[in-house]
Amino acid sequence: MLDIAKIRKDYPILDRKIYNRPLVYLDNTATSQTPAEVVEAIVSGYTRTKANVHRGVHTLSMEATELQESARRRVKDFINAPSYEEIIFTRGTTEAINLVAASYGGAFLRDGDEIILSVMEHHSNIVPWQLLQRKADIKIRVIPIKDNGELDMDAYKALFNEHTRFVSVCHASNVLGTVNPVKEIVAIAHSHGVPVLVDGAQAAPHIKIDVQDIDADFYAFSAHKMYGPAGVGVLFGKRGLLEIMPPYQGGGEMIESVSFEKTTFAELPYKFEAGTPDFIGIAALHKAINYIENLGIENIAAHEHELLDYTTRRMTDEIPDMRIFGTAPGKCAIISFLVGNEHHYDMGMLLDKLGIAVRTGHHCAQPLMQALGVEGVVRASFAVYNTREECDLFLNALHRVSEMLR
Ligand code: PLP
């Protein structure tokens, strides 16, 4: 349905050669490449409209402000949030989760309270909660996974008790590719009166997000994983919660009035946006959302799934001792694997020599690695611009590398 050859023309980086071989970029889970129209928005932001937002009456400042605020309205529609005041711009998913842990957690979690995370969380959905443990004696309880990488929902239900105060889980795992049943996870938590943060870093580029349908209290994602710029992210929060939460950081933009005796804070969303934001990156995120919606997120996902199924089948059939981690139905286009006892790092290095960019290591998910009983894995992940030919190049390289290591 999509004209992939045409799409690839928007990405000059894909023409690069690595060690004199065509680059096959399969590290999209870490960050995806950025199409020309998004890069052009960044260039235009610096060459035509650069002025600080929200502070000027002059034309450039008003234009820059309008670009930022229209991006906010675009994000609101993209995730079907009820209002633009519930869209807070951050540096990324990591900062969004830190904001909630520090502000909501700092204000409302007390000694003896419990929060629920899952074993498949990225470190950015673990460490902010551990930082909170320095201030209060909060217990972290962990949802385990089944052999295929699905969350164990019975175990999840059993973790609730009268001390449970918060749940924070990813929508999709950056290692297993598992897409979690977030709507059900939220409904179960809400039946106990517990709010939920959904880490959507891996979902936003591939799955249509509807925060009202999920009924998420908070939802976080990063622009750079969805064809957008680095350094920009989004936190959606329900208005009722954002209103009772204290500011996360202090500074310009987030105040109503300041004196040495008393400072009052700005209305939502600015209360949580201290300092000059990356307004040019935010305007570029607007373009990235347009880009995704013009292609159709379902079309993107269908193309990626075709590559996922083809590559997974051939890897399993053809490469001896292939172990794939994460086989949940409907998973995202991510293949984490090991071949026999070969070290993930050696495989990644050798694949790179053949032009194949995959990621190796613990993928910022060390607790998951422990649960899987490995130190690290190799991960290949797909985006809209990847092709069947690239999958073949990857598979040929994998044959060569695994034979060499054997
Ligand atoms: N959560 C998940 C599931 C991720 O995969 C990542 C990044 O890989 C993050 C959070 C952190 O995102 P960022 O580094 O953009 O803040």
Report pLDDT digits (tens) over 108-151. 999 999 999 999 999 999 999 999 999 999 999 999 999 999 99
Residue position matching structure tokens 């349905």? 1
Catalytic annotation present for 364: yes
Whole-angstrom distance, CA of residue 120 vs CA of residue 131: 19
Distance 181 CA to ligand 1 centre (A): 19
Token reading at 114: 């419990």
Burial category of 31 from C-beta neighbours within 10 Å (exposed 0-12, middle 13-18, buried 19 and up): middle
Domain with CATH 3.90.1150.10 in the chain: 4-30+296-405
Nearest ligand 1 atom to alpha carbon 94: 16
Q: Is the pLDDT of residue 77 over 90?
A: yes
Distance 259 CA to ligand 1 centre (A): 38
- Does a cis peptide bond (omega within 30 degrees of 0) precede residue 22? no
Q: Please give the average per-residue pLDDT across 212-226, as a whole number.
A: 98
Taking CB atoms and a 6 Å cutoff, what residues make up the pocket around ligand 1? 92-94, 122, 124-125, 170, 174, 199, 201-202, 222
Domain with CATH 3.40.640.10 in the chain: 40-294
Distance 124 CA to ligand 1 centre (A): 7
Pocket test for ligand 1, best of 99, 117, 174 (most atoms within 8 A of CB): 174
Distance 308 CA to ligand 1 centre (A): 21
% of the chain exceeding 70 in pLDDT: 100
Q: Could you give the 3-state DSSP secondary structure of residue 25?
A: strand
CA angle 298, 304, 305 (to 5 degrees): 85
20-58 per-position pLDDT tens digit:
999 999 999 999 999 999 999 999 999 999 999 987 899
Distance 122 CA to ligand 1 centre (A): 7
Whole-angstrom distance, CA of residue 40 vs CA of residue 333: 28
Whole-angstrom distance, CA of residue 54 vs CA of residue 176: 42
Q: Is the pLDDT of residue 281 over 90?
A: yes
Which residues in 246-292 belong to E strands, given as ranges? 255-258, 263-265
346-388 per-position pLDDT tens digit:
999 999 999 999 999 999 999 999 999 999 999 999 999 999 9
CATH of 40-294, picked from 3.40.710.10, 1.20.144.10, 3.20.20.70, 3.40.640.10, is 3.40.640.10
Q: Could you give the 3-state DSSP secondary structure of residue 147?
A: coil
- Does a cis peptide bond (omega within 30 degrees of 0) precede residue 35? no
321-332 per-position pLDDT tens digit:
999 999 999 999
> Which sign does the torsion angle of CA 72, 73, 79, 82 carry?
positive
Whole-angstrom distance, CA of residue 91 vs CA of residue 276: 11
The one catalytic residue in 170, 332, 364, 391 is 364
Q: How confident is the model at residue 153 (pLDDT cuts 50, 70, 90)?
A: very high
Pocket test for ligand 1, best of 31, 32, 94, 180 (most atoms within 8 A of CB): 94
CA–chain centroid gap for 259, Å, is 39
Nearest ligand 1 atom to alpha carbon 199: 1
What does the mean pLDDT of the chain come to?
Answer: 97
Q: Are strands 263-265 and 139-143 parallel, antiparallel or unpaired?
A: unpaired
Q: Are strands 356-357 and 263-265 parallel, antiparallel or unpaired?
A: unpaired
Whole-angstrom distance, CA of residue 130 vs CA of residue 120: 16
Q: Is the pLDDT of residue 253 over 90?
A: no
Burial category of 313 from C-beta neighbours within 10 Å (exposed 0-12, middle 13-18, buried 19 and up): exposed
Q: What pLDDT, on the 0 to 100 scale, is given for residue 89?
A: 98
Q: What pLDDT, on the 0 to 100 scale, is given for residue 151?
A: 98
CATH of 4-30+296-405, picked from 3.40.50.2000, 3.90.1150.10, 3.60.21.10, 3.40.50.150, is 3.90.1150.10
Q: How confident is the model at residue 212 (pLDDT cuts 50, 70, 90)?
A: very high
Q: What pLDDT, on the 0 to 100 scale, is given for residue 56?
A: 82
CA–chain centroid gap for 340, Å, is 30
